Chains A and B, each alone.
Chain A
């Protein structure tokens, strides 16, 4: 397995547009996490899934954000009506249960103009 993958790696969009990111976790990992990282800061938790169930959402995840993991494999994160403040690196991570470490994907860098 080649690790966690994310697509696209870079996205530039105009304010008000919708964007969708995809994350493919390591195949046997049942937990999938989304984090957001702005410049000079540590990653901040957004949401996580165990299999297809979304178990926790951060207050950072406004109504414009939605995440899915329909078959317990890949996940998508959609941002509607993007704002300039959404510009960040969006990181996906996966793990096998809670005990094991999370492996991070390369991230999707979003720039909202």
Chain B
């Protein structure tokens, strides 16, 4: 059974700091997705990583994929309060299998 694990599950950061969220998955997948979810809202797609070594950046967020290590990272640079949300990674054999989510809080 495919398992997806995120680390950490809770992260409280100060504005301006950098940090990385890790996503490990248990079986082969060549596609990985990162989603953002604000409280009470649905999921917003951030990145789709389609191949080994893929790196994508949008603003202060950068995601990468290492399919051999079965690891993806979401790096936050110079965090700002607006990035406070829960971030999910998900892999997809057919349906999406989600990690537990990382609740990120950015403090002034």
In the complex, A96 has a CB within 8 A of chain B:
no
A101 and B95 in contact, given A41-B100, A42-B101 (Cβ under 8 angstroms): no
Hey, which chain B residues are within 8 Å of A102, CB to CB?
A: 33, 45, 92, 96
> What distance in Å separates the Cβ of A83 from its nearest Cβ neighbour in chain B?
23
Contact B42 A98 (CB under 8 A): no
A48 and B45 in contact, given A42-B88, A42-B101 (Cβ under 8 angstroms): no
> What distance in Å separates the Cβ of A108 from its nearest Cβ neighbour in chain B?
10
Hey, which chain B residues are within 8 Å of A56, CB to CB?
A: 94-95
In the complex, which range does the number of interface residues on chain B fall in? 20 to 34
> What distance in Å separates the Cβ of B103 from its nearest Cβ neighbour in chain A?
8
In the complex, A33 has a CB within 8 A of chain B:
yes
A104 and B42 in contact, given A42-B88, A98-B92 (Cβ under 8 angstroms): yes
Hey, which chain B residues are within 8 Å of A43, CB to CB?
A: 43, 88, 96, 98
Contact B42 A45 (CB under 8 A): no
In the complex, A106 has a CB within 8 A of chain B:
yes
> What distance in Å separates the Cβ of A102 from its nearest Cβ neighbour in chain B?
6
Hey, which chain A residues are within 8 Å of B41, CB to CB?
A: 106-107
Hey, which chain A residues are within 8 Å of B40, CB to CB?
A: 109
Which B residues are closer than 8 A to A by beta carbons? 4, 31, 33, 35, 40-45, 48, 50, 88, 90, 92, 94-101
Which A residues are closer than 8 A to B by beta carbons? 33, 35, 40-45, 48, 55-56, 91, 93, 98-99, 101-107, 109
